[in-house]
Structure 1
Amino acid sequence: MSPKSSIAPVRWTPPPAPPARQPQALEVQTVAVPGHGPEDALIDADGSVLTGLLDGRILRVAADGTSIEVLADTGGRPLGLEWLPDGKVLICDANRGLLTLDQDNRVETLLGEIDGRPMRFCNNADVLPDGTIYFTDSSTRFGVDEWMADLLEHSSTGSLYRLTPDGELTRLATNRPFPNGVALSGDQKTLFFAETASYGLYKLDLTTADAEPELVTMIPGLPDNIARGSDGLIWVAIGSPRNALLDLLLPKQPVLRKVVWALPESFKPKAADIIEIQAYDDNGKLVHDLRGTHPDFRMPTGVRERDGKVWLSSIGTNHLATFPTPNR
C-alpha cells in the first residue's frame, strides 16, 4: 500500500446549511454487478447500461439486469462515461485521462496529460454533437483513491476544460473546489457543472469569452455526477448530505483537519446510508427532490434518465439502482 499523502488545509467557511426539506419518497430496485464501485451509468439505445468498476473493467448491463458483459479493462479507474458522435464511448479515467472505447472494445488514449502533467483526477464530461468535449479534472493534488483528502484540504486545484475535435485544449475555469459532473443546457449555450467541495451547482456561459462561473443553486449535500436526461432536466447525484463534522472543521485551525486525515478510516467523515437525487431545469428550478434508502445501495455518484427510467450508480456499493422517472 502506498503511503498516505500529506495535506495542507486551507480555511474555508461553508455557506449556511439549507433549510429542512421534505423530499419525495424514493423506492429503487437494484442490480448486482460483479465488482465494486460502478461510478457512472451510461444508457444505450436498447436500454442497457454501461458502467466502470474500481478494478478498471467497463461493463454492459442488460436493461432488465439479467445479463452482464465485460467490454474492456482500462487499466485505470473509469469514472464518467459519455457517447461520442461516432458511436465510441468517452471514458473519464481518473488515472489515465480521457479514453475512448470503440465498437470492437478497443481502448485508446485521447488525452492523458495537460501542460505536461498527467491528469490525476479526470472525472466527468459532456459532449457536443460536433465532438467537442467538456470535462473536469477535479484535483491536481490528489487522485481518486484520496478524494477525501481533497475535501479536507479544500485547496481548490480543480479545473474545467474544453477539448475540440482538432485537439485544441482550453481551460475554461480553474482553481475550483473539486469540480465534478458536467452537463450542457438544452440549447448547448450553457455548461452546468457541480462542485462537490462547495456544495454548488454552477453554470458557465459558453457564448461569452472569458465568462466566469455563476452559482445556480446550493445543493443540500455533496453533488457528484450530473447529466441531462431525455426529459430535458439536469439530474444531480448527491453522494452524501452535508457532513456536520466537515462543516465544523473547514473554517477552523487547519491542523485539526491534518489530525482527522491521520486518523483511521473509521473515524473520518463518511457518506450517509441514504439515496438523494435532484433534478433541475435550465433556469435552476428544482423539479424533483427525491430521498430513499435501500440495503444494497447508498452514496449515489452517477444518475442518468432516459425514456422514462432513471439509473443510479455508486462508488460505495457493488450494485446499480433504478426507478421510473417521476411525474412532474
Structure 2
Amino acid sequence: MDERDWEETPMRRPAIEPVVWKAPRAGRRPAPSLPGLTVWHVNGSGAEDVLVDDKGNVYTGVDDGRVLRLTSDGRRLDTIADTGGRPLGIEHLPDGRLLVCDARRGLLAVDRTTGAVEVLHPAGEDLHVCNNAAVAADGTVYFTDSTRRFELAHWKADLLEHTGTGSFLRRTPDGAVETLRTGLQFPNGVALAPDESFVVFAEMWEYRLLRLWLSGPRAGESDVFADNLPGFPDNISTGSDGNIWIAFASPRDPLVDFLLRTPPVLRKALWRVPPRLQPKEKRTAWVRALDPATGGVVHDFYGTPADYHMVTGVREHGGRVYLGSLEERAVAFFDVP
C-alpha cells in the first residue's frame, strides 16, 4: 500500500495505542559542511543501505526485492539476486556471501555469483522487521528487529505510538539465535568495535546509540554510547578508519518531540489524517563519525543538497563515504576532506 492508498482509505492503517514520552532538549544542527556529492542512479527505489567490497564495488538493495551491484566507477549496474522481499541492511559474511536483512523475509545469505538466497533466520514469531546487522570475524551476526507492532511501511505509526517493541539479537555460526535485548524503540543500525570488544546499535526513536560489551570485565553489560543525538540515527557502520559512522535519516523535529509528550488521543487523531498533513522528514543529508574509544565526534557532515536526501545508510571505505537512502533511486558518495 502506498501513501495514495492511505489518503483515500485511512481506516486501512493499523490502529495505534500511544504512550507519553518526554524527549530531551535537542541541540542545534551544525553549520553546512557536507562536501559535494557524486550521485549514482540505480533502476530501483529506496537504495536503503550501502556496502563496499575490496574492489570498490558498491552493493545496495531496493524496494522490489533486488540486490544490486555497481562497479567502482559507477558505470555498470548488475542485479545479483532477488530476495523476494524488502532488503535493508547489507554486510559481508566470512564465506564470501552477502548477509541481507530483509524486512519481509528475515535474515538472509546471498551468493554474489549465483544469486542463491539462503534463509538464515526466517521472519516470523520472533523476527518481524529485520533491519540491520554487523558480522564478527567468526561469523556471529548481531542484528535488529525494529518493531513487533507494525510493518516497515508503517514506521511512522511506531514513532507516534512509542511503545518500544523492538529487539536486538545474535546468531552464532552454528545457527542458534538468541535475543539479547527487548523493549527497544525501533532499534536500527549495528556496528562492532574494531577489536570486537563491544557492539553498538541505534535506538532510533530515543535519539541514542546503545552499547553491549562482548568481552572484558564488563562483558554482558549495556550502557549508552551516544545520547541525545540531534537527529534520527538510522544505519550505522564501522569504517575502514575505525570510527563508528551514523546516518541521520532526518534532523529531530520540535513538532514530533512536542507530540510525543501530548495526550495519546492527539496522536491517534493525527495518525488518521492524510500523510501530506503529517510531520515529514527534513530534506537533509547528514552523517557523523564517532571515536569508538570515547564516543566523541570526529566528523560531522551536514547539508541540504538538492539531489539527495534522507540518508539511511553510510559506509566509509578508504576515505570515501558512501550513502544510501530509503527515498532515493540512487546511492551517493563524497571524499572526506
TM-score class, shorter-chain normalisation, is: over 0.9
TM-score, L = length of structure 2: 0.93
- Report how far residue 214 of structure 1 moved: 2.4
> Match of 2:240?
230
Of 281, 289, 293, 2:300 maps to: 289
Mapped partners of 2:29, 2:237: distance in 1: 25
Superposition CA RMSD, Å: 1.4
Matched, 1:134 2:142: yes
> Match of 1:91?
100
> Match of 2:327?
316
Mapped partners of 2:27, 2:35: distance in 1: 20
Q: How does 1:112-261 map to 2 (within 5 A)?
A: 112-113=122-123, 117=125, 119-207=127-215, 208=218, 210-261=220-271
Alignment deviations for residues 277-321 of structure 1 (CA, whole Å, 9 cap, x no partner) = 100011201000111222221000000011121110001111111
Alignment deviations for residues 110-163 of structure 1 (CA, whole Å, 9 cap, x no partner) = 1014xx606221000000111000000000001111111111110100011111
Matched, 1:53 2:34: no
Matched, 1:9 2:8: no
Matched, 1:26 2:35: yes
CA change 1:137–1:44 in 2 (3 A) is: same
Of 310, 314, 317, 1:303 maps to: 314
- Report how far residue 23 of structure 1 moved: 5.1
> Match of 2:9?
none
SS at match of 2:155: helix
CA change 1:136–1:313 in 2 (3 A) is: same
Structure 1, unaligned runs of 5 or more = none
CA contact (8 A) 2:120 2:175 kept: no
Matched, 1:111 2:121: yes
CA contact (8 A) 1:173 1:212 kept: no
CA contact (8 A) 1:27 1:293 kept: no
CA contact (8 A) 2:190 2:237 kept: yes
Mapped partners of 1:215, 1:67: distance in 2: 39
Mapped partners of 1:239, 1:191: distance in 2: 21
Mapped partners of 2:167, 2:223: distance in 1: 12
Runs of at least 4 residues off by over 4 Å: none
Residue identity matched to 2:63: L
CA contact (8 A) 1:305 1:325 kept: no
Mapped partners of 1:288, 1:281: distance in 2: 9
Percent of pairs with identical residues: 47
SS at match of 2:227: strand
Residue identity matched to 1:189: S
CA contact (8 A) 2:29 2:230 kept: no
Residue identity matched to 1:179: P
Mapped partners of 1:258, 1:314: distance in 2: 28
Matched, 1:66 2:75: yes
Query: Which shifted more, 209-218 or 195-204?
Result: 209-218
Across the two proteins, how many residue pairs are aligned to each other?
324
Residue identity matched to 1:60: R
SS at match of 2:25: coil
- Report how far residue 219 of structure 1 moved: 1.7
- Report how far residue 174 of structure 1 moved: 0.8
SS at match of 1:146: helix
CA contact (8 A) 2:66 2:81 kept: yes
- Report how far residue 173 of structure 1 moved: 1.1
Mapped partners of 1:146, 1:55: distance in 2: 17
Of 42, 46, 64, 1:37 maps to: 46
Residue identity matched to 2:319: G
Structure 2, unaligned runs of 5 or more = 6-11
CA contact (8 A) 1:237 1:302 kept: yes
Alignment deviations for residues 159-216 of structure 1 (CA, whole Å, 9 cap, x no partner) = 1111101122221111010110000001101111111100112211112454234243
SS at match of 2:271: helix
Mapped partners of 1:268, 1:65: distance in 2: 36
Mapped partners of 1:95, 1:213: distance in 2: 30
Mapped partners of 1:145, 1:288: distance in 2: 31
